[in-house]
């Protein structure tokens, strides 16, 4: 195990906890709104944006936020009207974003920056700065306020958008709020978890919570808890084994999810093939 | 609302789906008075759901004028929707759906409670009352994914009733239900109309289930109203049998 100064460890641990909280909290809504494809693309757009930021020598986080927001603004309305096939997103746009990112990485000036470039690719324990921590803390605080104040609206929208709209809820507002907060969560967690893996932190903890719980309120509470625990265990696994931190976090969250599928009470007797298919489609 | 005033007034309404060149419903004109129970029947693809969604402003009409509670629909849709309980066509619910019945019923009051306000005891009282009215109070803490089609339909009706609507719009409330469940829903709708001071508009493709308390039937075919009158007269007419072959499917 590598020895680190306590202050660096504290910042990194806090970063892991807050990234786990923000990503997994947004996962609750992303999974329910069937936005996995667009969210997946947003995370890779954030990766391309971070590379772009490095190329033009600005904070990669700013580039990540701009690119993921751009994706949300362009593709959000298309996905909303079901005019965007998920296989198109994954097959065409995903590879396009990765290609863009690699082109930007190729033009990053200087040797020092190439180290940063690798960090945004697969994440790094050292990459969490005090500024990142502050932004993650602010995002987490805003998310808590957003969920507490608008819980009844979010619940209505998550159950059925058309019914929520018919009751007088502005569903479009909440749809785009989910996309934008997801863009922020992904962009701010990018340097810790890495651009290629950050979206797993959105999907895996929520999918795990879905295996056990029937109450949406409990999913909203337990999904971030699972996300935080996955991040912390992944963090210490990374310290012990010298694995890249992003990969460690994703391996842990994936292992927790597989374990959840095996022991899930929802999958025991009486569950039809249709139910199983619906779980798989949610993953 | 003045007694016997029109709850719904539609004049030459025409509604398109986005990107389509032919309107789904055209030249729709009718009034529905306060307290009426009206069934709009027609074969599949007649434009029944489009008509309901035009009334509550989910779809925008491109021609004509539409008023609900005396307010123009397009200009006041958010206000109007707070007074309209909408029961969507029985959709397939994910068996793992993480929602409790009581929360679904409460969600009907979301617009009425308003933004930046929290749920009060009064809101929960309305939830318990509505669930009691549809006979589903024992299912309050059960997941909606575990309900049968009939039970789920009752929860959707309770959700609409919790809103304390002046107007109830029901989209195919008998679809995907077995005979026993249909009878239960029919009885329930009669009871709601009898107990509550409420206007009910129901669309259906099924001639065999028109609730007793419904005394007016509007027949819709290919987006146009072709008959509008008393239930007994419409159901006995020859024209209705030209449109339907007796089981709700188009000839």
pLDDT for residue A273 is more than 50: no
Tell me if A121 sits within 8 A of A115, measured CB to CB: no
- Contacts with A64 (C-beta within 8 Å, 6 or more apart), sequence order: A46, A47, A49, A50, A53, A186, A187, A190
Q: Hey, are the CB atoms on B78 and A168 less than 8 Å from each other?
A: yes
Q: Say what percent of chain B tops pLDDT 90.
A: 70
The per-residue DSSP string of chain A comes to -----HHHHHHHHHHHHHHHHHHHHHHHHHHHTT-HHHHHHHHHHHHHHHHHHHHTTS-HHHHHHHHHHHHHHHHHHHHHTT-S-HHHIIIIIHHHHHHHHHHHHHT--SHHHHHHHHHHHH--GGG--HHHHHHHHHHHHHHHHHHHHTHHHHHHHHH-HHHHHHTT--HHHHHHHHHHHHHHHHHHHHHHH-TTTHHHHHHHHHHHHHTT---HHHHHHHHHHHHHHHHHHHHHHHHHH---HHHHHHHHHHHHHHHHHHH-GGGSTT--HHHHHHHHHH-
Suggest the residue from A145, A167, A212, A267 to mutate for an interface test with chain B (most B CBs closer than 10 A): A167
Q: What is the pLDDT of residues B95-138, one digit of tens each?
A: 888 999 999 999 999 999 999 999 999 999 999 999 999 999 99
Question: Tell me, what's the ipTM?
Answer: 0.90
| List of domains in chain A | 6-282 (1.10.3470.10)
Tell me if B203 sits within 8 A of B44, measured CB to CB: no
Q: What is the pLDDT of residues B67-83, one digit of tens each?
A: 999 999 999 998 999 99
| List of domains in chain B | 1-83+166-251 (3.40.50.300), 93-165 (no CATH)
- At residue A5, φ and ψ (nearest 5 deg) are -60, 145
SS3 B29: strand
Q: Say what percent of chain A tops pLDDT 90.
A: 50
Model confidence at B251, in pLDDT bands (50, 70, 90)?
Answer: very low
Q: What is the pLDDT of residues B172-225, one digit of tens each?
A: 998 878 888 889 899 999 999 998 889 999 999 888 888 999 999 999 999 999
What is the Cα–Cα distance from B132 to B117, expressed in whole angstroms?
25
Q: How many residues does chain A have?
A: 283
> Using the 8-state DSSP alphabet, how is residue B20 labeled?
-
Q: Give me the residue from A81, A166, A266 closest to B56, CB to CB.
A: A166
Q: What is the pLDDT of residues B41-50, one digit of tens each?
A: 998 889 999 9
Residue A112 confidence (pLDDT)? 59
Using alpha carbons only, give the angle B200, B49, B201 rounded to the nearest 5 degrees.
10
- Contacts with A229 (C-beta within 8 Å, 6 or more apart), sequence order: A20, A256
Residue A277 confidence (pLDDT)? 47
Q: What is the pLDDT of residues A64-92, one digit of tens each?
A: 999 999 988 888 887 777 666 666 766 77
pLDDT for residue A180 is more than 80: yes
Suggest the residue from B20, B68, B98 to mutate for an interface test with chain A (most A CBs closer than 10 A): B98
Tell me if A194 sits within 8 A of A263, measured CB to CB: no
Range with lowest mean pLDDT among B52-66, B135-149, B192-206, B237-251: B237-251
pLDDT for residue A106 is more than 80: yes
* Chain B: residues touching A (Cβ < 8 Å): 18, 56, 58, 78-79, 81-82, 84, 86, 88, 91, 94-100, 103-104, 106-113, 115-116, 118-119, 143, 145-146, 156, 159, 163
Neighbour order of strands in the sheet with B199-204: B84-87, B167-171, B199-204, B37-41, B216-221, B224-230
Q: Hey, are the CB atoms on B98 and A275 less than 8 Å from each other?
A: no
Residue A282 confidence (pLDDT)? 44
Helix/strand number for chain B, H first, E second: 9, 10
Residue scoring higher pLDDT (A111 or B150): B150
Residue A242 confidence (pLDDT)? 86
Q: What is the pLDDT of residues A211-230, one digit of tens each?
A: 999 999 999 999 999 999 99
- Please state, as a whole number, how many other Cβ atoms lie within 10 Å of the Cβ of residue A274: 10
């Amino acid at each position: 195990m590598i020895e680190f100064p306590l202050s660096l460890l504290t910042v990194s641990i806090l970063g892991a906890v807050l990234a786990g909280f923000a990503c997994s909290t947004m996962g609750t809504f992303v999974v329910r709104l069937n936005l996995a494809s667009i969210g997946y693309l947003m995370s890779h757009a954030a990766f391309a944006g971070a590379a772009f930021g490095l190329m033009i020598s600005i904070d990669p986080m700013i580039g990540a936020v701009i690119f993921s927001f751009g994706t949300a603004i362009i593709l959000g309305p298309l996905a909303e009207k079901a005019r965007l096939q998920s296989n198109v997103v994954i097959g065409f746009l995903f590879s396009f974003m990765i290609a863009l990112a690699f082109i930007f990485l190729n033009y990053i000036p200087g040797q020092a920056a190439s180290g940063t470039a690798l960090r945004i690719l697969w994440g790094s324990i050292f990459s969490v700065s005090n500024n990142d921590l502050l932004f993650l803390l602010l995002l987490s605080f805003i998310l808590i306020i957003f969920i507490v104040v608008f819980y009844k609206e979010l619940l209505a929208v998550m159950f059925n958008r058309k019914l929520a709209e018919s009751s007088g809820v502005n569903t479009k507002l909440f749809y785009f709020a989910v996309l934008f907060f997801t863009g922020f969560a992904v962009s701010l967690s990018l340097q810790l978890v890495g651009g290629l893996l950050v979206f797993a932190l959105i999907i895996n903890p929520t999918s795990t919570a879905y295996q056990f719980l029937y109450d949406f309120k409990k999913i909203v509470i337990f999904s971030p808890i699972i996300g935080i625990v996955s991040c912390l265990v992944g963090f210490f696994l990374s310290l012990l084994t010298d694995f890249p931190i992003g990969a460690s976090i994703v391996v842990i969250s994936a292992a927790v999810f597989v374990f959840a599928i095996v022991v899930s009470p929802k999958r025991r007797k009486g569950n039809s093939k249709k139910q199983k298919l619906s779980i798989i489609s949610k993953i | 609302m003045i007694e016997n005033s029109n709850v719904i007034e539609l004049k030459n309404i025409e509604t398109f789906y986005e990107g389509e060149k032919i309107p789904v419903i055209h030249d729709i004109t009718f009034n529905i008075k306060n307290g009426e129970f009206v069934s709009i029947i027609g074969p599949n693809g007649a434009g029944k759901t489009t008509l309901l969604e035009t009334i509550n402003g989910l779809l925008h009409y491109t021609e004509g004028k539409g008023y609900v509670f005396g307010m123009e629909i397009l200009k006041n849709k958010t206000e109007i929707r707070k007074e309209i309980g909408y029961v969507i066509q029985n959709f397939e619910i994910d068996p793992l759906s993480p929602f409790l019945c009581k929360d679904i019923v409460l969600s009907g009051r979301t617009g009425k409670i308003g933004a930046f306000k929290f749920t009060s005891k009064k809101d929960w009282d309305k939830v318990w009352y509505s669930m009691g009215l549809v006979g589903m109070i024992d299912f309050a803490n059960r997941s909606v994914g575990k309900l049968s089609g009939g039970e789920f339909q009752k929860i959707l009706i309770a959700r609409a009733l919790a809103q304390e609507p002046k107007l109830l719009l029901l989209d195919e409330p008998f679809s995907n239900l077995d005979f026993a469940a249909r009878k239960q829903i029919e009885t329930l709708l009669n009871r709601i109309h009898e107990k509550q001071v409420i206007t009910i508009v129901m669309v259906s493709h099924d001639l065999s289930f028109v609730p007793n308390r419904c005394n007016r039937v509007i027949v819709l075919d290919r987006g146009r109203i072709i008959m509008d009158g008393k239930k007994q007269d419409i159901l006995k007419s020859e024209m209705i049998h030209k449109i339907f072959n007796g089981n709700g499917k188009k000839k």
